């Protein structure tokens, strides 16, 4: 199978396994902040026009669309980048501590 076919199958599997009608654990503003990774640098999550936006650099800017629980689908503004997923982690006090960019790496909350 070629890469494109594998990607389509993986996306279809993700859609089939999605838990529908869930809500994020926290209000949108609690996810906003700076997230650091030693390789990729700073990823910023901001609230803009009633939604969350993720920015690693000008090329990697996308809208976060709630997927399930504390997982968001990243809809990159550069459509050539396709879609990916961001999973937020929190501690026992309900504070966001990290963002994992699925398939890439983990970014630790810095503010």
C-alpha 22/C-alpha 54 separation (Å) is 21
Quote the pLDDT of residue 56. 92
pLDDT of residue 11: 75
Which of these CATH numbers, 2.40.128.600, 2.20.25.240, 1.10.357.10, 3.30.360.10, describes 3-109?
2.40.128.600
Whole-prediction pTM:
0.84
pLDDT, position 21: 83
Q: Which two tokens stand for residue 40?
A: 């990729």
Q: What share of the chain is helix, strand, coil (3-state, %, to 5)?
A: 20, 45, 35
pLDDT value of position 13: 76
Domain range list for the chain: 3-109
Are 75 and 83 spatial neighbours (Cβ–Cβ below 8 Å)? yes
Q: What are phi and psi of 9, to 5 degrees?
A: -65, -40
Instruction: List, run by run, the mean pLDDT of 10-residue segments along the chain (111 residues).
Output: 74 76 92 96 96 93 95 93 92 96 89 81
Sort strands 33-37 and 105-109 into parallel, antiparallel or unpaired: antiparallel
């Amino acid at each position: 199978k070629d890469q494109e076919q594998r990607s389509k199958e993986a996306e279809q599997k993700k859609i089939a396994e999605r838990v529908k009608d869930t809500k994020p654990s926290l209000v949108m503003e609690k996810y906003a902040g700076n997230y650091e990774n030693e390789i990729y640098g700073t990823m910023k999550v901001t609230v803009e026009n009633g939604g969350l936006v993720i920015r690693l650099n000008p090329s990697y800017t996308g809208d976060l669309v709630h997927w399930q629980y504390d997982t968001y689908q990243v809809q990159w503004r550069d459509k050539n980048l396709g879609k990916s997923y961001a999973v937020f982690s929190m501690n026992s006090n309900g504070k966001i501590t990290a963002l994992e960019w699925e398939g890439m790496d983990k970014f630790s909350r810095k503010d």
